[in-house]
Amino acid sequence: MNKKIVLSSFKNASSKDWGDWRWQLQNRFTKISSIKHFPIKYFPNQINADKIASVYPMAVTPYYLSLIQEDASGDAITAQCIPDMREITLGQKYPEDPLEEDSKMPVPKLIHRYTDRCLALVTEVCAVHCRHCNRKRFWAKPNSGNFKTRLGGFIRYLEKSPQIREVIISGGDPLIYDDEKLEIILAGIKTVQNVEIIRIGSRMPAVMPMRITKTLCRILKRYRPLWFNTQFNSPAELTADAARACNMLQEAGIPVSNQSVLIKGVNDSEDKMRALLYGLQKISVRPYYLFHCEPVKGCWHFRTSIESGIKMMENLRRECSGLALPQYVADIPGKAGKIPLVSISSSTKAQMHKYQYFFDNFT
């Protein structure tokens, strides 16, 4: 598939429309029947996807849909955006909220798990519904409550919590808001004296890179130190548009890091992960975390074993530059937070033993 094929289904749309994030958002595909005429090779479990979408709604931007490889079975984009029957048939005993986020909210939609930072869920809406999302429980009930009331609650809590120095603005996807609303959020949070650092978590560079505009970058620049964390999971997402979006952020002085999820069939082989990590490095995006896929209801079929994840990362560690290597972690509920998943192989242990004198000299 490519941009032309997808664009042809919108009779009066131009290439200018394609590059406009609002057009992308307004023209999202929300029914499998609306994309049936595209040359997509579905997985067997994706044939009746509309049934699944009534539980976990579908949303795909024309841009992200155009990244699907026409006849590639096992396509990484298809797996991440087209509903799959296994979302409602397997792993139904998994919790909807495995990190128990909903119980860690001192005020609505603000998660405070760690002493010095908190996570502000400013929206439940996203450009694309990533099928592996650990917050897919939000999709059926988007944006509950009033935007200003929610922001006011965040600000009052932050003012009463001097130990919080960093606020992660997330969701949903905060860049779903237009520039004006986003600036109201940033300015409001920045009024709190103890907030030193703002972090934005957004998948827009991967799923709708046209959202990163010059105006947006100008706004974000005003609120530095501001860090931007995004989520590329496959080298197929590292397009020229995505690279341009990341570069615009970087040129505005905003460091861009990546937090991938380890997803079965998408990036769980050494070859695919290596291509992703090298690709990120080439566009100056730092691979930061690789999250083990959480036990979320509706995500059973995306999960790999921890053992295979450790083995894959151990092998990559032997050949890849440290700058290309994310930390492989499992996020668990409570203050323990992110647990590094590492093991030292017997051959590595033997090598360390051989060079014991080296360690002795320096400890």
Residues that bind ligand SF4 (CB under 6 A): 126, 129-130, 133, 135, 171-173, 203
- Report the C-alpha gap between 335 and 344 in whole angstroms: 25
User: In whole angstroms, how close is the CB of 359 to ligand SF4 at the nearest point?
Assistant: 41
Torsion of CA 120, 125, 130, 135, to 10 degrees: 50
In the complex with ligand SF4, the residue whose CB is nearer, 199 or 203, is 203
User: In whole angstroms, how close is the CB of 283 to ligand SF4 at the nearest point?
Assistant: 19
User: In whole angstroms, how close is the CB of 282 to ligand SF4 at the nearest point?
Assistant: 23
In the complex with ligand SF4, the residue whose CB is nearer, 161 or 230, is 230
- Bridge-based pairing of strands 327-331 and 286-292 is parallel
In the complex with ligand SF4, the residue whose CB is nearer, 237 or 268, is 237
Interior CA angle at 71 toward 66 and 74, to 5°?
A: 90
User: In whole angstroms, how close is the CB of 231 to ligand SF4 at the nearest point?
Assistant: 6
Residue 285 burial by CB count (10 A; 0-12/13-18/19+): exposed, middle or buried? buried
In the complex with ligand SF4, the residue whose CB is nearer, 137 or 274, is 137
Specify whether the backbone of 192 is left (phi greater than 0), alpha (psi in -120 to 50) or beta: beta
Quick one: which of 243, 212, 208, 118 has its CA closest to 169? 118
- Report the C-alpha gap between 244 and 52 in whole angstroms: 34
User: In whole angstroms, how close is the CB of 204 to ligand SF4 at the nearest point?
Assistant: 8
In the complex with ligand SF4, the residue whose CB is nearer, 123 or 161, is 123
- Report the C-alpha gap between 51 and 55 in whole angstroms: 8
